[in-house]
């Protein structure tokens, strides 16, 4: 008997509807009812994982505790549910086919002809059920990537249809877009109706429809959707555009969604369970005073939408920390290449209360980032460096404070006389020996913090902490003494003391870097310590200015 109940979330009409947020919101509401919830994202692409894709292609690569390089939706699940998601919760077509072919080569199919049907859906099903078993979840929320009607998602839908027939405890939630064409000025339901037809042609009848649109759905349109899509009126929900995505769980709760879902599974609803979330939203939406954060990066020729997607966890971390401190964040995107071409433009940085250099790869825009870090250090603008942002802060300090003029990372200059950031041979060997033979340091690693440092205090005076990583290069131990003798403090190291995980400059209000990506562990109700510290420092500096 399978205990886990499954809620499948599909999307219709167009992509970018916020299916991940809807799936996470349903999960949060179920969790607040006392159930254990896990999320699964199935993605139709052939890539084994998101690690090999540019963030501009498919958004941020979200790193899990166990080192999975997954779809950014797992980040939404973690943030809303405050539960850890592991790499097997991100399933791709590539993984499924790869596993089936490997099994065939290992003679595991007893001489049978291995075919797309039934073997591919069977593999999908086994993977989903395995997550249910491992997590011991009461509810599994399975979000299907892409849009129904896409050729690529057919086999996933087929697997879910079969599961629903066999297990009987599967509920289908369809999120569809309801446009308001400018020339007509009224909300149209036809595209949503067609997307339900697409689902029907895969043998799936949605149990619940969530209408996404600029505005709430009125009674007339709900009735239309009910009649034409063959669902009860009470099973049509409205999720209009909002200024803050964390409001979505409350909007769905006001429409008794979770009560309805529980009823469908024969379970009881207990009212008033989302109080903590409600007060968080109140704090977030009433914050008036602004804190201005500049993110210095290089992904700027690609349009605003992709930008938000590429840095989603960093952006959310800034929001969590700002709201927690009663401020409204305003994020500015600063093109590092501009600083290279025109150093005068660096003065733009003085308009920001804090600066972040996030993770990145390659040489493009790097010199501009280094210049921005120098500006932040010299003008005491609170600075947080994430991964590449730590590495480049070390390069900047080596060049401009320690007198190592041509210091660099070997990622961009193999022949630098001062390779302050480099691939450590011992580290490279260790990573290659890992099961997947990769060369990246991925997933959660422990660090020991140095007592009395700012970082130590920010992490609540803990000696040992853990954060997630995704990088190849490290601070070169040969230069540690020199860097520290000029005032830089490595405030956290790996337990074997060999890898520098955190740095800070005690001479500044806040000049901190980490080799890790703390943005993956920030939660709405529990901001990441370094982001909280950055915002607090920004507020402190700001109030000094205003005196
Ligand atoms: N490019 C750097 C490295 O590989 C930093 C990576 C990152 O910022 N995630 O070490």
| Whole-number pLDDT of residue 436 | 53
45-52 contacts at long range (C-beta below 8 A, 24 or more positions apart): 45/92, 45/93, 45/94, 45/145, 45/152, 46/92, 46/93, 46/94, 46/97, 47/92, 47/94, 48/92, 48/94, 48/95, 48/98, 49/87, 49/90, 49/92, 49/94, 49/95, 50/90, 51/440
| Whole-number pLDDT of residue 1 | 43
| Whole-number pLDDT of residue 428 | 77
Query: Does residue 442's CB lie within 6 angstroms of at least one atom of ligand 1?
Result: no
| Whole-number pLDDT of residue 408 | 98
Query: Does residue 61's CB lie within 6 angstroms of at least one atom of ligand 1?
Result: no
Here the tokens at position 65 are 């505790």
> Which of 50, 365, 391, 410 most suits a substitution to test ligand 1, by most atoms within 8 Å of the C-beta?
391
Cα separation, 519 vs 413, in Å, equals: 28
Query: Does residue 519's CB lie within 6 angstroms of at least one atom of ligand 1?
Result: no
What number of residues does the chain have? 547
| Whole-number pLDDT of residue 300 | 58
> Which of 55, 394, 412, 472 most suits a substitution to test ligand 1, by most atoms within 8 Å of the C-beta?
472
> Which of 471, 501, 514, 519 most suits a substitution to test ligand 1, by most atoms within 8 Å of the C-beta?
471
Cα separation, 1 vs 209, in Å, equals: 29
Cα separation, 454 vs 435, in Å, equals: 36
Expressed in angstroms and rounded, the spacing between residue 470 Cα and the centre of ligand 1 is 7
Q: Which residues contact 357 (CB under 8 A, 6 or more apart)?
A: 295, 296, 297, 369, 372, 373, 383, 384, 385, 386, 388, 389, 392, 393
Query: Does residue 228's CB lie within 6 angstroms of at least one atom of ligand 1?
Result: no
Cα separation, 442 vs 87, in Å, equals: 12
Here the tokens at position 183 are 């020339």
Instruction: Give helix 275-286 / helix 312-324 axis angle, nearest 10°.
Output: 90
User: For the residues of 187-250, what is the DSSP string, one character each?
Assistant: ---HHHHHHHHHHHHTT---SEEEEEESS---HHHHHHHHHHHT--GGGEEEEE--S-GGGHHH
Q: What is the DSSP letter of 256?
A: T
- Other beta carbons within 10 angstroms of residue 449's beta carbon come to 21
Residue nearest to atom 6 of ligand 1 (CA): 471
| Whole-number pLDDT of residue 508 | 97
User: For the residues of 86-141, what is the DSSP string, one character each?
Assistant: -GGGEEEHHHHHHHHHHHHHTTTTTTPPP-HHHHHHHHHHHHHHHHHHHHT-SEEE
Expressed in angstroms and rounded, the spacing between residue 285 Cα and the centre of ligand 1 is 35
> Which residues belong to the active site?
387, 517, 519
Expressed in angstroms and rounded, the spacing between residue 411 Cα and the centre of ligand 1 is 9
Cα separation, 295 vs 304, in Å, equals: 13
| Whole-number pLDDT of residue 547 | 55
- Mean pLDDT per 10-residue section of the chain, whose length is 547 residues: 84 85 96 96 92 80 95 94 96 96 95 94 96 96 92 92 94 95 90 94 96 92 95 95 94 95 95 88 93 86 65 96 96 92 93 96 93 97 98 98 97 96 83 66 96 98 98 96 98 96 98 98 97 97 72
| Whole-number pLDDT of residue 299 | 60
How does strand 208-213 pair with strand 37-43?
unpaired
Atom of ligand 1 nearest to the CA of 358: 8
Query: Does residue 411's CB lie within 6 angstroms of at least one atom of ligand 1?
Result: yes
Atom of ligand 1 nearest to the CA of 386: 8
Expressed in angstroms and rounded, the spacing between residue 414 Cα and the centre of ligand 1 is 16
Query: Does residue 523's CB lie within 6 angstroms of at least one atom of ligand 1?
Result: no
Q: How far is CA 255 from CA 204, 209, 248, 279, in A?
A: 24, 13, 11, 19
Q: Give ∠ CA 308-296-68 in degrees, rounded to 5.
A: 55
Rounded to a whole number of angstroms, the CA Rg of the chain reads: 25
- The verdict on whether omega for the bond into residue 365 sits within 30 degrees of 0, i.e. cis, is no
Expressed in angstroms and rounded, the spacing between residue 361 Cα and the centre of ligand 1 is 5
| Whole-number pLDDT of residue 304 | 53
Say what the alpha-carbon torsion angle 302, 308, 309, 310 is, to the nearest 10 degrees.
Answer: 70
| Whole-number pLDDT of residue 202 | 93
Expressed in angstroms and rounded, the spacing between residue 487 Cα and the centre of ligand 1 is 24
Region of 2 (left: φ > 0; alpha: ψ -120 to 50; beta: rest) is beta
Cα separation, 317 vs 531, in Å, equals: 7
Q: What does the domain layout of the chain look like in residue ranges?
A: 5-280, 287-545
Cα separation, 79 vs 340, in Å, equals: 36
**Greatest Cα-to-Cα distance within the chain, rounded to the nearest angstrom:** 81
Sign of the alpha-carbon torsion through 445, 448, 453, 458? positive
Cα separation, 536 vs 405, in Å, equals: 33
Closest of 173, 250, 244, 257 to residue 207, by C-alpha = 173
Expressed in angstroms and rounded, the spacing between residue 26 Cα and the centre of ligand 1 is 34
How does strand 419-422 pair with strand 408-409?
parallel
* Identical fold between 5-280 and 287-545: yes
> Which of 299, 356, 361 most suits a substitution to test ligand 1, by most atoms within 8 Å of the C-beta?
361
- Could you tell me if 416 and 406 are in contact, meaning their C-beta atoms sit under 8 angstroms apart? yes
> Which of 50, 51, 310, 359 most suits a substitution to test ligand 1, by most atoms within 8 Å of the C-beta?
359
| Whole-number pLDDT of residue 263 | 96
Query: Does residue 98's CB lie within 6 angstroms of at least one atom of ligand 1?
Result: no
Cα separation, 352 vs 504, in Å, equals: 20
Cα separation, 78 vs 523, in Å, equals: 8
What are the residue ranges of helices labelled H in 459-528? 480-485
Query: Does residue 19's CB lie within 6 angstroms of at least one atom of ligand 1?
Result: no
For 442, the enclosing helix (H) or strand (E) is: strand 441-449
Residue nearest to atom 7 of ligand 1 (CA): 359
* Through-space distance between the first and last CA atoms of the chain, rounded to whole angstroms: 67
Expressed in angstroms and rounded, the spacing between residue 362 Cα and the centre of ligand 1 is 8
Expressed in angstroms and rounded, the spacing between residue 253 Cα and the centre of ligand 1 is 41
Expressed in angstroms and rounded, the spacing between residue 311 Cα and the centre of ligand 1 is 14
Atom of ligand 1 nearest to the CA of 421: 10
Strand partners, 211: 176, 238
Query: Does residue 471's CB lie within 6 angstroms of at least one atom of ligand 1?
Result: yes
**pTM: predicted TM-score of the whole model, two decimal places:** 0.94
Query: Does residue 247's CB lie within 6 angstroms of at least one atom of ligand 1?
Result: no
Which CATH number does 5-280 carry? 3.40.50.300
Q: Give ∠ CA 380-362-54 in degrees, rounded to 5.
A: 110
Query: Does residue 473's CB lie within 6 angstroms of at least one atom of ligand 1?
Result: yes
From the number of C-beta atoms within 10 Å of its C-beta (0-12, 13-18, 19+), residue 3 rates as: exposed
- Could you tell me if 134 and 169 are in contact, meaning their C-beta atoms sit under 8 angstroms apart? no
427-431 contacts at long range (C-beta below 8 A, 24 or more positions apart): 427/474, 427/498, 427/499, 428/472, 431/472
Q: What is the DSSP letter of 64?
A: P
Query: Does residue 264's CB lie within 6 angstroms of at least one atom of ligand 1?
Result: no
Which CATH number does 287-545 carry? 3.40.50.880
């Amino acid at each position: 008997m399978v205990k886990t109940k499954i809620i499948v979330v599909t999307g219709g009409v167009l992509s970018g509807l916020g299916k991940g947020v809807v799936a996470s919101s349903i999960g949060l509401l179920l969790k607040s009812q006392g159930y254990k919830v896990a999320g699964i994202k199935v993605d139709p692409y052939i890539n084994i994982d998101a690690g090999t894709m540019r963030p501009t292609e498919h958004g941020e690569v979200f790193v899990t505790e166990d080192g999975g390089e997954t779809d950014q939706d797992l980040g939404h699940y973690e943030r809303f549910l405050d539960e850890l998601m592991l790499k097997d919760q991100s399933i791709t077509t590539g993984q499924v086919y790869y596993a089936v072919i490997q099994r065939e080569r290992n003679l595991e199919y007893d001489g049978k002809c291995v075919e797309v049907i039934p073997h591919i859906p069977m593999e999908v099903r086994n993977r989903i059920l395995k997550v249910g078993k491992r997590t011991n979840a009461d509810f599994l929320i399975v979000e299907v990537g892409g849009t129904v009607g896409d050729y690529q998602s057919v086999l996933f839908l087929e697997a879910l249809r079969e599961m629903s027939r066999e297990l009987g405890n599967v509920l289908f939630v369809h999120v569809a877009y309801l446009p308001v064409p400018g020339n007509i000025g009224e909300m149209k339901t036809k595209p949503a109706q067609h997307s339900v037809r697409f689902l029907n042609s895969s043998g799936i009848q949605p149990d619940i429809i969530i209408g996404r649109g600029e505005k709430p759905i009125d009674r007339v349109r709900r009735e239309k959707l009910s009649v034409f899509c063959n669902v009860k009126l009470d099973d049509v929900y409205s999720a209009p555009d909002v200024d803050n995505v964390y409001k979505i769980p409350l909007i769905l709760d006001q429409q008794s969604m979770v009560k309805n879902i529980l009823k469908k599974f024969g379970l009881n609803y207990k009212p008033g369970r989302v109080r903590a979330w409600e007060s968080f939203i109140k704090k977030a939406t009433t914050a008036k005073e602004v804190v201005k954060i500049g993110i210095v990066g290089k992904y700027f020729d690609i349009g605003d939408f992709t930008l938000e997607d590429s840095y989603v966890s960093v952006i959310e971390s800034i929001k969590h920390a700002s709201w927690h401190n009663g401020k409204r964040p305003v994020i500015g995107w600063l093109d590092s290449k501009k600083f290279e071409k025109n150093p005068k433009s660096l003065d733009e940085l003085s308009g920001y209360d804090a600066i972040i250099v996030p993770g990145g790869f390659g040489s493009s825009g790097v010199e501009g980032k280094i210049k921005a870090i120098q500006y932040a250090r010299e003008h005491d603008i609170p600075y947080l460096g994430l991964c590449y942002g730590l590495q480049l802060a070390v390069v900047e300090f080596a060049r401009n404070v320690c007198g190592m003029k041509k210091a660099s990372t070997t990622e961009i200059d193999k022949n630098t006389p001062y390779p302050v950031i480099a691939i450590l041979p011992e580290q490279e060997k260790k990573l290659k020996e890992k099961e997947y033979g990769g060369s990246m340091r991925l997933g959660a690693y422990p660090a020991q913090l140095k007592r009395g440092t700012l970082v130590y205090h920010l992490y609540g005076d803990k000696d040992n902490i853990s954060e997630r990583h995704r990088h190849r290069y490290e601070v070169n131990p040969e230069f540690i003494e020199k860097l520290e003798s000029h005032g830089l403090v490595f405030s956290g190291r790996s337990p074997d003391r060999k890898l520098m995980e955190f740095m800070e400059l005690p001479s500044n209000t806040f000049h901190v870097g980490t080799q890790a990506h703390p943005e993956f562990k920030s939660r709405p109700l529990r901001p990441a310590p370094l982001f909280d510290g950055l915002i607090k420092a920004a507020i402190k500096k700001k109030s000094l200015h205003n005196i």
